[in-house]
Amino acid sequence: MTDIAILYGSVYGGAEELAETSATRLENAGFAVKLFSDCDLEDVLAANAANWLIISSTTGSGDIPQNIEDVYLGLRDNAPNLSKTGYAVICMGDSSYGETFCEAGKQFDEVMGETMAKRMLDRLEIDACETMDTAAASEAWISQLVDKIKQ
């Protein structure tokens, strides 16, 4: 069984790199982790993960990256009952885009709520205008996630 499914939406590789870094941190904390990209909702559900970590950059005018869009659409259109699933979201964006800053992650956060999944932590928003080191920017947050899952 997978303890944590990490779903990542990446355009230029930043979210993918953060997903891999996060997977290593979570594995070092003793969790079984599986990464998902270029897949659909059924692939993620088949892993039967107790917890989901969604990491997404935002593209275009607040759009979800293409490599994770099928999962989002599956969640939005089918609204599966994920009431036994914990989730957390890290979104990456550029605050100079104003209203669409981190929009993809915000959309995932909203749709996960509609599935009745349990938010484990407040969404982490990483602003490319403030930091290029996403691993450092997420380190304390991932530590909090580890503690929350272990409770």
Residue 1 has pLDDT above 70, yes or no: no
* Residue 118, pLDDT score: 97
* Residue 61, pLDDT score: 82
Distance CA 9, CA 69 (A): 8
* Residue 78, pLDDT score: 94
Count of CB atoms situated within 10 Å of the CB of 128: 16
More confident residue, 123 or 96: 123
Residue 47 has pLDDT above 90, yes or no: yes
pLDDT tens-digit map of 51-72 = 999 999 988 888 899 999 999 9
Contact between 45 and 34 (Cβ < 8 Å):
no
- How remote is the C-alpha of 34 from its chain's centroid? 12
pLDDT tens-digit map of 21-41 = 999 999 999 999 999 999 999
4-31 CB burial, b ≥16 within 10 A, e <16? bbbbbbbbeebbbebbebbbebbeebeb
What sign has the CA pseudo-torsion 125, 139, 89, 37? positive
pLDDT tens-digit map of 99-137 = 888 899 999 999 999 999 999 999 999 988 888 889 889
CA nearest neighbour of 60 among 100, 1, 4: 100
Domain boundaries of the chain, sorted by first residue:
4-145
pLDDT confidence tier of residue 2, bands split at 50, 70 and 90:
low
Mean pLDDT for the stretch of residues 41-48: 96
Tokens of 119: 């938010």
Residue 143 has pLDDT above 80, yes or no: yes
What sign has the CA pseudo-torsion 78, 34, 89, 96? negative
Question: Can you give the pTM of this predicted structure?
Answer: 0.94
**Domain 4-145, what fold?**
Rossmann fold (3.40.50)
